[in-house]
Structure 1
Amino acid sequence: MRDAENMHLTGIRRKFEVNGNEVVGKCARYEPQISFQGLRQTCQPEYPKFASYKKPEIADDGKLETTGVSHEQKPEEEMVELGVSRKSKKESPFCIDSLAAVTDEEFEMLTGLPNIDTFWQFYSLLDCDKICPNMAYCTLQGEKSISRCAVYGSKHLANSLTFEDELLLLLTKLRLNLLDADLAQRFNIPTKVISSLIVTWVNFMYETLVSRRKMPIFPSRHKVNMQLPKKFSQDYEFRNLRTLLLDVEILGEKSHQSVYEMDPFSFSALPTSKVWSFTVGITPNGAANFISEVISGSSKNSDLSKYVFDKLKSDFNKDDIIIGPEITNSVRDCYGSIDVDYIVCSKFAKSPHLVLIRQLASKYLERLLAFKILTCIPCDLQPLVSKIVTVTVLLTNLNKPILQRK
């Protein structure tokens, strides 16, 4: 038996049974002469079966036969079968029509407006269909009288984006503060076009809403009292409440060059940011009724409160009540000289009405700062910071009042 196991295997032929066919081949150190046709059929791996997948057939000569479907066509057909199209983004760009089916919450998240109906009402308020065809487009350098085709680079590309989509682009920028490259990909236009569109529409909205007084924002005391929440109207002390003054500070990024010049081993984001301050006034139901000038630097180191008084003193009535932050004694005397009562709403106030007023102010700031453009003004838009602030504050008035009259 042992001698049989030690026999040299050279020249010994074995028989193998594969799929019922007798295949002859040499083993050991000799080169095999086995035909793998039957072995391939037996050991064919199992791949996922897409709808367009067909098992390859083997010809008599041992070569694979295709079934008329090329390898280049299979992935595309499989994507279509799975509901995916490589051209879907080109055919369905980000536009106002594509947002018709979204919920009100999703629309507000993207634009800051409560719903798509408000968008169209605002579009009509701006009178876009009449003004925009003759609107002069601008660049960051302040050039005007540039045609729409010159901004886009071609007439075909200019026709690919409607005026309502340009308005949507600006609202999305103000709300989400997306990068220009992100907006260009969403709207399927070149990145270099984005800045010109933003500058043009900010100037257009500012001129329409402020210069043409399409949205007057400081109503009379009679109109304020008509919308005064019941919690204030029934209280003798606050029934003449006219406005709440909120000091706001916003940041803007510095140029990359100034950041690179700093010590990289002890970097701080604070010195790399610019600061602007402004005061916004809101009515007792949470609607903006005043916007001050935007100044560079902190409000604590400026005469912003004196500027606010000088702008509003002609609109105040006797016995009006103004609630706001701490002011200097000289400014307080100015309010007293016209018989206007200025109340400082301290965080330690325990009066139920003052607590409610602080909650109202907090909710309005939450609404205003939801426009992420105010969290960090990009370098290229900082020359327009005053107009951007004004337009953004006015957009908050398109939402429902924070406190309803009941």
Structure 2
Amino acid sequence: MMLEIPAEEGSTTPKVTFNVSASTEAENYFLRKELLEATEKLKKLSVSFSFEHIKNSDSRINAYTGLPSCEIFMCLYGLMEDISLKYYHGWTVTVISKIDQLLLTLMKLKLNLLNEDLAVRFNICSKTVANIFFTWLYALHEVLFKKFMDKIPSRNKNKLCMPTCFNNFTNCRIILDCTEIYCIQPKNMEKQRATYSSYKHRNTLKVLVGVAPNGVITYASELYPGSVSDKKIVRHCGILDQLEADDLIIADKGFLIKDMLPQGVHLNIPPFLSTPQFTPEQVIQTRTIARARIHIERAIRRIKHYRILSLIPASLISHSTEIFQTCVALTNLHCPLIREVEDLYKEKDL
């Protein structure tokens, strides 16, 4: 095969003719094909993970963000979209869209992915991941927790949606319990001692959680070192300041806080076994309280579905209160907990 290269217009250089063999032509064909395939692969590699990849699947939305559906995700984004963000590290992120910044933050909370992992997925650097995460964490905390969970609902509000298992506790204002979150052992010896939990035999952070009778999480304190007693947390966190006369608190028998309650506020905890066995009345009381307390147990279990709470690293301990409280607020975006609890008792009754 003859390959002819014409001379440029106006040039005195004669045209050049090459004799191209069939084998060379075939080789060029396969090289062009390989180049095209490599280019396509490069394009695919350069496409970063985004909301577009999961928006048509509620199950994927739930798996990556912890939110129940795309509709809820978009409602949350609509709430945050027009907020003026103050970026944590002082420089604005424009390399990915706001909706993908929200997605990245929720993925960090739900899946506890490393910043390096998120950097690869979103085709950005690790510093940008950190800037996005802390910026959106504090924005979500401000809007979802501080704005909507600043005060616990009144007793009258609770009565509007009181489940049947609270028929004996119609004046219940809140159900309280403490839970612990594992944290990395601090290097400082004093902090090691402060965070060491004699109950868990590990270093932990402790938090007081409150749930309304309808299963909605209505209170979460700041996080305290794991060695702090439940009683000290109740005294310090400010929950007692929100209670009024005739309010009832339901709690575990370890909450020996009766002596510090405001005047007229009542405490209902399971009875202590002071005889070889409970009386029939005590058995009924214990079962009734246990049925009411299952709401707080289920709520805490839901909160801990956010894997970032599985172990708080040293780099996040100073942000742990905002992380936990934001996970609490996000948990409230799920279907009502009361439905889950009622279904549980229906199964037991079968």
Q: Same fold (TM over 0.5)?
A: yes
State percent identity of aligned pairs.
Answer: 27
Task: Name 2:195's counterpart in structure 1.
Answer: none
Q: Greater helix share, 1 or 2?
A: 2
Deviation at residue 168 of structure 1 after TM alignment: 1.1
CA contact (8 A) 2:250 2:269 kept: yes
| Among 47, 56, 68, the residue aligned to 1:114 | 68
CA contact (8 A) 1:305 1:327 kept: no
For the residues of structure 1 that align with 2:76 and 2:271, how far apart are their CA atoms?
37
With the length of structure 2 as denominator, give the TM-score of the two structures.
Answer: 0.74
Which aligned pairs between 1:315-394 and structure 2 lie closer than 5 A? 315-327=242-254, 329=256, 331-335=257-261, 338-345=263-270, 351-394=286-329
For the residues of structure 1 that align with 2:291 and 2:38, how far apart are their CA atoms?
56
Q: Are 2:202 and 1:246 equivalent residues in the alignment? A: no
Paired residues, number: 300
For the residues of structure 2 that align with 1:358 and 1:210, how far apart are their CA atoms?
23
For the residues of structure 2 that align with 1:249 and 1:370, how far apart are their CA atoms?
14
Q: Are 2:88 and 1:138 equivalent residues in the alignment? A: yes
Cα 1:326–1:359 change in 2 (3 A) is closer
Mind listing any 5+ residue stretches in structure 2 that lack a counterpart?
1-21, 189-199, 274-282, 343-350
Task: Name 2:207's counterpart in structure 1.
Answer: 278
Q: Are 2:332 and 1:401 equivalent residues in the alignment? A: no
For the residues of structure 1 that align with 2:151 and 2:45, how far apart are their CA atoms?
41
Code of the aligned partner of 1:287: V
Cα 1:116–1:89 change in 2 (3 A) is farther
Cα 1:195–1:79 change in 2 (3 A) is closer
With the length of structure 1 as denominator, give the TM-score of the two structures.
Answer: 0.65
Q: Are 2:44 and 1:88 equivalent residues in the alignment? A: yes
| Among 83, 91, 94, the residue aligned to 1:159 | 94
Q: Are 2:176 and 1:220 equivalent residues in the alignment? A: no
| Among 77, 100, 104, the residue aligned to 2:55 | 100
Report the 3-state secondary structure (helix = DSSP H, G, I; strand = E; otherwise coil) of the residue aligned with 2:183: strand
Question: Higher relative contact order at CA 8 Å, sep ≥6: structure 1 or structure 2?
Answer: 2
Report the 3-state secondary structure (helix = DSSP H, G, I; strand = E; otherwise coil) of the residue aligned with 2:242: coil
Deviation at residue 341 of structure 1 after TM alignment: 2.1
Deviation at residue 390 of structure 1 after TM alignment: 1.4
CA contact (8 A) 1:286 1:402 kept: yes
Deviation at residue 347 of structure 1 after TM alignment: 11
Report the 3-state secondary structure (helix = DSSP H, G, I; strand = E; otherwise coil) of the residue aligned with 1:67: helix
For the residues of structure 1 that align with 2:271 and 2:325, how far apart are their CA atoms?
27
Task: Name 1:313's counterpart in structure 2.
Answer: 240
Cα 1:97–1:332 change in 2 (3 A) is same
Query: Superposition RMSD on alpha carbons, in Å?
Result: 3.2
Deviation at residue 120 of structure 1 after TM alignment: 1.7
Code of the aligned partner of 1:163: K
Report the 3-state secondary structure (helix = DSSP H, G, I; strand = E; otherwise coil) of the residue aligned with 1:275: strand
Cα 1:79–1:169 change in 2 (3 A) is same
Report the 3-state secondary structure (helix = DSSP H, G, I; strand = E; otherwise coil) of the residue aligned with 1:243: strand
Cα 1:96–1:322 change in 2 (3 A) is same
Deviation at residue 95 of structure 1 after TM alignment: 1.5
